[in-house]
Structure 1
């Protein structure tokens, strides 16, 4: 067959039917390839899950330290970044033989742990006693007070005579934001005697993670309030 006859045959009905059939088969084949891969129905769901994960990752952390406006003396929020993140209050795994409810102060890391059931503890950042004012041992939390009066010990008054105006004889320093014991105080007794050491609040955020106090263990006011609500009088406390 020459080229002329071939072109002429293209107009033949049977020839045209053959071409249309071949074209249809090719279209179906292409449609089959373009139809969707077996896993394509999952893709919208996977995209939704990916977007959800991205939204969760982008969410700000819960504000642990907002303004506490319902307190007897309203407490300002702690600005982001003011308290180092490693000292933020958080629940952590904690392996100990001590029973739940025990308070453990790790002076080496500036952490306080409140032991919980199930192998966890609530961990808080703390400030501790400066050199010469350290204390360690096992004792108990005899009682606790919200917005306590502060009475400096006689030894402290001898070192700082200006504190005499807040002596026991003068009724101590009334509660307030400037009170060194802050929003809450837990009183530590050993062998039935007051050690004169306290777990207490402080507005001095910079002091957390440092040895600056006169022996007491200090937490930011938000954290001492959180701890106060969970510790029962009579609970054991271990400072190590």
Structure 2
């Protein structure tokens, strides 16, 4: 072998060994980074909300609690009021419910900067309300007992008064398939997040002092909301709440039935009156 061939062989072998050493080092670095001799774990993956089902499935007929809910003609509803996952615009912690009365939307804040948004119907002019509350009681197919103020305006409702036992849960009950009862501190506000058979009222202001959802949506919300979830009702995301002392909306319900077991002592969020 000539001198030139020997030198070429030595250079090639040295290059191969150097490349192998660099490759091994890069693998070690990529596998685990150390700081001060301690391994540094990679950050946990960002939580992503599982995708929702298609509208036809979400709003299909439902058999629930012995009642057969009809399907919702979702094609007739503005898509912005149908259930969907959106970037969270509220900045609140996961598990918080935020009702934007200006947009007729309810947001359930989820991890990872996301929220599930539902369309809602709201109280008509003169009965709107805003403030902070806590979900302190939850009911499936709740009984409805209209308050005295409502009966005074609509005497035909007297047959459903508390003295007469209220209106049993069912397909025509104004509270729909589910109701979330809102408290401030330990005081029942008499306002509810609830279902409604009147799907065409979603996105409008037509009801008396309540937040109503499509029955299929309130069932979904009910199953997702943890006990004692905070609720914020505001006239616009990021806007200050407006609850003048001289305005008090007429509530939708006469109160949680006596002897009901609540979800525990609620922390006081606000002393304001709806």
TM over 0.5: yes
What stretches of structure 1 of length at least 5 have no aligned partner? 1-59
* 1:80-91 superposed matches below 5 A: 80-91=74-85
* 1:1-240 superposed matches below 5 A: 63-240=57-234
TM (norm. structure 1) is 0.73
For residues 61 and 101 of structure 1, the distance between their equivalents in structure 2, rounded to whole angstroms, comes to: 24
Higher helix share: 1
- 1:80-133 CA deviation, whole Å, 9 max, x = no partner? 413221111001001443211000000010000000001000000000010111
Give the superposition deviation at 1:138.
0.8
Structure 1 segments (4+ residues) deviating >6 Å = none
Greater C-alpha Rg? 1
Q: Count matched residues.
A: 181
For residues 200 and 74 of structure 2, the distance between their equivalents in structure 1, rounded to whole angstroms, comes to: 13
Give the superposition deviation at 1:64.
1.8
For residues 63 and 166 of structure 1, the distance between their equivalents in structure 2, rounded to whole angstroms, comes to: 35
- 1:150-187 CA deviation, whole Å, 9 max, x = no partner? 00011111111111110111110001100000000000
For residues 211 and 205 of structure 2, the distance between their equivalents in structure 1, rounded to whole angstroms, comes to: 9
What stretches of structure 2 of length at least 5 have no aligned partner? 1-53, 235-274
